[in-house]
Every structure is written in structure tokens, then in C-alpha cells.
């Protein structure tokens, strides 16, 4: 798997582009637990997300967000390469979406 950092500041919210080869990792991955909060956006391909008791396949345009204290792991079930935008922040940090009414 290739991690491409998109932010350089220490601490705070960090952004990465991840390029995940097909059928990575091999075998059943061990789930991880650590401090933080993560947001994933699938740019292309398919992403398998193991999160707590859930086992889901995300496809291009789909999003997941979760507290990283929940056991989790992700990989690429294939076929083809998956590309993912990942935002990782300290525990308790949240993204805020602001949207105004559309102007017609």
C-alpha cells in the first residue's frame, strides 16, 4: 500500500491519498485500535472496511467515518487498484459541513 501525505503540519487533521493494490492484504487482517477519528472517501475501486461487527464493501463515491477506538481494518478485495482519500484527526476532532440553500 502506498501512502501519499497531502498535509505536512504536525498534529491536528492530516490528509493522505492511499493507493491499495488488489487483494491487499492477503489473509484475514488483524483489526487495530488506537486514539483518533478517521474519515475515508473511496476515489476509485473497492474498499473492504472491517469496523467493529461490520464488514462492508465501499465503492467509488462512498464515505465512512469512525472513531478509531473501534476495532477496524481495511483492505482492497479487488479487482483492480483502490484509491482512497483518508483524513485522520485527534480524538474528539470532527469535520463540520456547512451548506447554504441553493440559489435559483
pLDDT > 80? residue 77: yes
The verdict on residue 72 lying in a domain is yes
Range of the domain at 9: 2-89
Q: Is the residue at 101 inside a domain?
A: no
Give me the number of domains the chain comprises. 1
- How many whole angstroms separate alpha carbon 51 and alpha carbon 55? 6
Structural domain includes residue 81: yes
Cβ atoms of 19 and 83 closer than 8 Å: yes
- 104 is a domain residue: no
Q: Is 68 or 101 the better-scoring residue by pLDDT?
A: 68
96 domain residue, yes or no:
no
**pLDDT of res. 16:** 94
Residue 37 main-chain phi, psi, to 5 deg: -145, 135
The answer to whether residue 38 is domain-embedded is yes
Domain membership flag for residue 13: yes
Q: Could you tell me the CATH number of the domain that includes residue 72?
A: 2.60.120.10
More confident residue, 29 or 52: 52
H-state helical runs in the chain: none
Amino acid at each position: 500500500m502506498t501512502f501519499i501525505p497531502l498535509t505536512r503540519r504536525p498534529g491536528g487533521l492530516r490528509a493522505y491519498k492511499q493507493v491499495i493494490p488488489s487483494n491487499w492484504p492477503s489473509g484475514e487482517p488483524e483489526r487495530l485500535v488506537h486514539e483518533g477519528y478517521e474519515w475515508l472517501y473511496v476515489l476509485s475501486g473497492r474498499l473492504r472496511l472491517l469496523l467493529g461487527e461490520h464488514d462492508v464493501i465501499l465503492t467509488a463515491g462512498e464515505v465512512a467515518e469512525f472513531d478509531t477506538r473501534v476495532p477496524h481494518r481495511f483492505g482492497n478485495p479487488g479487482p483492480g487498484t483502490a484509491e482512497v482519500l483518508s483524513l485522520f484527526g485527534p480524538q474528539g476532532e470532527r469535520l463540520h459541513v456547512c451548506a447554504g440553500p441553493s440559489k435559483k
